[in-house]
Amino acid sequence: MSANPSAAEAAIAELLSIMARLRDPDGGCPWDLKQDFESIVPYTVEEAFEVAEAVARRDYPELKEELGDLLLQVVFHSQIAREQGLFDFSEVVAVLNDKMVRRHPHVFGDQTAEDEQAVKVNWEAIKAEERARKGREHDSALDGVPEGLPALQRAHKLQKKASKVGFDWRATAPVRAHVDSELQELDQALASGDRDAIEDEFGDVLFTLVNLARHLKLDPDLALRRASDKFEGRFRQVEQLAGAPLSDFDDDRLDALWRQAKRQSD
């Protein structure tokens, strides 16, 4: 492992050169040449999730590779922007450097921050000043939560923003009780058969469960990922125990296989 700045600079320069070559109309890659900002956004989002998955699994060789894939997305966007005369990779880095210094005055300036909470308060104040300079006045405490976030993450961030201005339960118990209340409303919607009402109430249940996770200091996305991984592992075990297509088994046999797989994995 090397911390040689010149080696890092050379590696970045080579990466930028590779990306420019891929986008060169004269002999570049047809697929890369066809892409634009919009078309590569799904890949950017996917790579970010693959980084998160590598971290969750503590697979650090995989993390190294996935971070490279995510960096490629930044370079790809930057190359398209350079071709359109908007900005280039060096400007992306320069803006980031300025932002990091500006948002850490307790490190690079004369302010102080005694703990993590003080850092967060300063951070939000600086971000508000930045919005004002850009002509984006603070209209709501919920500003700054992208609509494009995955639903669980967006719900979590919206709730955290609201909590910062005191719009929150002060204890976990009433949140847990609210889960039961929302489930009752879902039952009523199910009884009515109204599909719109069912979807609305089901969404309320999910939103309230995210709120409960926040009060329990849990990451709802990580919790759901772990549950999905657990289900996948047990389901594959059921397939192995069955030794035949699961569609050949009735409900009682499937339930017995599931319970057996659960016992073996616990």
pLDDT given at position 148: 80
pLDDT at residue 178 greater than cutoff 60: yes
Locate the domains of the chain by residue range: 8-102, 103-136, 145-218, 222-265
pLDDT given at position 203: 97
Closest CA to 178 of 144, 207, 151: 207
pLDDT at residue 128 greater than cutoff 80: no
CATH topology classification for 8-102: Helix Hairpins (1.10.287)
Higher pLDDT, 123 or 156: 156
What CATH superfamily classification does 145-218 receive? MazG-like (1.10.287.1080)
pLDDT-based confidence at 138, cuts 50/70/90? low
pLDDT given at position 1: 55
229-246 confidence digits (pLDDT tens)? 999 999 999 999 999 999
Higher pLDDT, 255 or 120: 255
Higher pLDDT, 123 or 251: 251
CA distances from 78 to 36, 83, 221 (A): 11, 9, 30
The count of other CB atoms within 10 Å of the CB of residue 212 is 16
Average pLDDT over every residue of 1-19: 86
> What distance in Å separates the CA atoms of residue 140 and residue 138, rounded to the nearest whole number?
6
pLDDT given at position 84: 98
On the question of a common fold for 8-102 and 145-218, the answer reads yes
> What distance in Å separates the CA atoms of residue 206 and residue 12, rounded to the nearest whole number?
43
pLDDT-based confidence at 175, cuts 50/70/90? very high
Side chain identity at 119, as an amino acid letter? V
Q: What are phi and psi of 134, to 5 degrees?
A: -85, 5
Closest CA to 177 of 208, 221, 133: 208
pLDDT given at position 142: 86
pLDDT given at position 147: 85
57-107 confidence digits (pLDDT tens)? 899 999 999 999 999 999 999 999 999 999 999 999 999 999 999 999 999
Average pLDDT, the chain: 92
